[in-house]
Structure 1
Amino acid sequence: MNQSENVCPLLKNPDSYNPDTIDLVNNVKERNYWLPCLENMVKKFVSKAGFLNPDYPEATEKAEVCFQKFHDLVGKATEDPNVLIPLSVRTLLEFNEDNLQDNNFKDAWYKQKESESAVALKEFKERIDFIDSIPEFEARWLEIVTGVLAGNVFDWGSTVVADILETSTNFGLSQAMGTIEKRPWFQDNLDSWIQRLKNEPYKLVVIFVDNAGVDFILGILPLVREFLKQDTKVILTANTSPALNDVTCQELKSYTDHAAGDCPVLAKSLSTSQLLTVENGQKGPCLDLTNLSPELCKLMTKADLIILEGMGRAVHTNLYAKFNVDSIKLAVLKNDWLAKSLGAQQFSVIFNYETAT
């Protein structure tokens, strides 16, 4: 296959593009933090595997096999960082997803995603009605973006969030809104982006989505709906293969169809193809923009805005990526080490809007 078919056509410098933000090969301090951190995350799954995969009798045993493989890799990478090329948070997480697939975990977090998404879908109508009740343009968009950021807190790949979700029975979108940093955010040029929106709506926006449940249904879909109301065409794109509790392309379609039952704007846009859902070609929670699905690359050539959501896609990867069109990278920093390495705090917010360069 011609490699250019897989390269994001909106990338400014595809030849010099490096998806990975953190260098685990040359930076020993970062390597000594991230290897045990990710190993700990993989280990935690072992105790959850049976509960998350009740239809798979060997789940715990196979999860232990996956952990051992990861543990062995971490041991080797500590001695020689060139055992995995390149060694990065992205490739380590992809290695883990490959292990899960090889051990017959078709979608290890499927049950969790389904139950969280079912709850979120019940709250969707109330959420969009509340947004519609805000008459002022600026205030409405602020509420929508804050909702996307609060939704992004719901990430089982984050240890601190997993602890909150495991111990709290009523942690929802409004509680998450109270958890994230108050404005001004760590990186915050939202006001100038809202002004841009007010002056001239976008023609075509591509959104790389993150987690299932609250994140996608109560965060991203209201954002999509507001774009559609401005006559902007929207391409929603999600992972081809499962990774953690991230939305897959099949779920993307299913959740959007369900939400459309409560929302004429979504229903109409799906029927006219003003709203499209498409796979992105990825198999891990990070994002390599030179390895996308050819269909997505074809569809996004005319886009004038790209949105990367979440730590995996906008911070661990692509934090420094430049585009030929306007771009937004938005995420909540749910890892204390990562936040501090950027000069921020845990639950600090990145809303980084850059105009086309």
Structure 2
Amino acid sequence: MEICPLLQEPEEYLPDTIDLRNNPKERDYWLPCLERMVRKFVDKASILNPHKPQAKEEAEHCFRIFQEMIKRLNNNPEIMNPLSIRTLLEFNEKTLRSNNFTDAWLVQKQKETKTAFREFSSRLKYIDNIDTFGVRWLELVKGLLAGNMFDWGAKAVTDLLETTGSFGLGDAMNTIQKRPWFIDDLDEWIETLQKKSYKKVVIFVDNAGVDFVLGVIPLAREFIKRDTDVILSANTFPALNDITIKELNCCLQEASLHCPVIKNAVDSKKLQGIENGQGGPCLDLSKLNSGLCDKMKNVDLVMLEGMGRAVHTNLKAKFNIDSVKLAVLKNEWLAQSLGAQQFSIIFEFKPAPTF
């Protein structure tokens, strides 16, 4: 594992936006919040894992382990260092994996991916019919942000998904914040895209299903059409409904059957999926897969997608190349702590520093 070579100040890098050890107010919110999230999985375990007769009992066992950790942390937050949303979520995922939940959300991910691919060709056709450069890139970014709504780790979203029988990409586009966004550097980024073509981009992706198939792949395809090499980096190990590297590469093969641009890019390695070495829904750029770090040395744009990778972690990270951080704020407490509202959007573009 290596530190990301794209960081502007690697020696100063800290992944976590919020330090729960030294912030009692945040700790008092997030510890019970995450405990409720883990508890909710118990009720869904049997449905998500129909091949496991003892799924609910095993999920209850995992919950008790997490609950005991929360109790200990309430008494003494010093026992976990660092103590953050990232480390607590990683603790939960490790507990699940070590108690027979190899990939707890696999069935749900497969279902959502299959459904998303039914719309894939029509989504590409719709984008290709947009002639205006800026309007097309706006549609691609909106699609990526709307796709990022499909996150089973956010209560506000799970409430929507569970109470609405047919919540799709169009519904998500109508749910997220209208422009101007809470942080809205999109126009500046589009102006940059009009002036130059990036040579190589790395995108740290988030969820399986609609997010990846209808959000990430169309965006990657547009880069490829501009002769940009694209690395899509996904988790090595399962976490919630985040896409894994194995699933990512399967999706690229499926997309290749629908789109010659994707097929040619995959065959020529202009489009590659590379694991990031992570096993949680956040992103620690100081512990990346060494093969990914090697491939990133000539990247000139980095994109971080999703609340876990761009807000809970890396919100303050600075890069020595152009960077884009984009996310939908799907937690009301987090949104308000930043001065925003639930479902507000962050689209932050930072050009490479000039020295």
Deviations 1:50-90 (A, max 9, x none): 11001111111110011001111111111111111110000
Report the Cα distance in structure 1 between the residues aligned to 2:59 and 2:74, rounded to whole angstroms: 22
Counterpart AA for 1:121: F
Which residue matches 2:79? 83
How far did 1:117 drift? 0.3
Report the Cα distance in structure 2 between the residues aligned to 1:118 and 1:276, rounded to whole angstroms: 21
Deviations 1:182-241 (A, max 9, x none): 000000010010010011110000000000000000001000000000000000010000
Report the Cα distance in structure 1 between the residues aligned to 2:99 and 2:243, rounded to whole angstroms: 21
Which residue matches 1:225? 221
Deviations 1:298-355 (A, max 9, x none): 0000000000000000000000000000000000000000000000000000000001
Which residue matches 2:321? 325
Report the Cα distance in structure 2 between the residues aligned to 1:37 and 1:67, rounded to whole angstroms: 13
Which residue matches 1:61? 57
Report the Cα distance in structure 2 between the residues aligned to 1:177 and 1:136, rounded to whole angstroms: 20
Residue 216 of structure 1 pairs with residue 212 of structure 2: yes
Report the Cα distance in structure 1 between the residues aligned to 2:111 and 2:58, rounded to whole angstroms: 23
Which residue matches 1:284? 280
Report the Cα distance in structure 1 between the residues aligned to 2:190 and 2:20, rounded to whole angstroms: 37
> Is the 8 Å Cα contact of residues 89 and 280 (structure 2) preserved in structure 1?
yes
Question: TM-score of the superposition, structure 2-length normalised?
Answer: 0.99
Which residue matches 2:256? 260
How far did 1:259 drift? 1.1
> Is the 8 Å Cα contact of residues 19 and 82 (structure 2) preserved in structure 1?
no
- 4+ residue runs over 6 A deviation: none
Residue 153 of structure 1 pairs with residue 149 of structure 2: yes
Which residue matches 1:34? 30
Q: Which SS does the other structure have where 1:328 is aligned?
A: strand
1:314-353 matches, within 5 Å, as 314-353=310-349
Counterpart AA for 2:155: T
Which residue matches 2:48? 52
1:41-190 matches, within 5 Å, as 41-190=37-186
How many residue pairs get aligned? The number is 353
Report the Cα distance in structure 2 between the residues aligned to 1:70 and 1:61, rounded to whole angstroms: 14
Q: Which SS does the other structure have where 1:6 is aligned?
A: coil
Counterpart AA for 1:217: V
Q: Which SS does the other structure have where 2:5 is aligned?
A: coil
> Is the 8 Å Cα contact of residues 204 and 233 (structure 2) preserved in structure 1?
yes
CA RMSD for the aligned pairs? 0.6
Percent of aligned positions that are identical:
59
Counterpart AA for 2:42: V
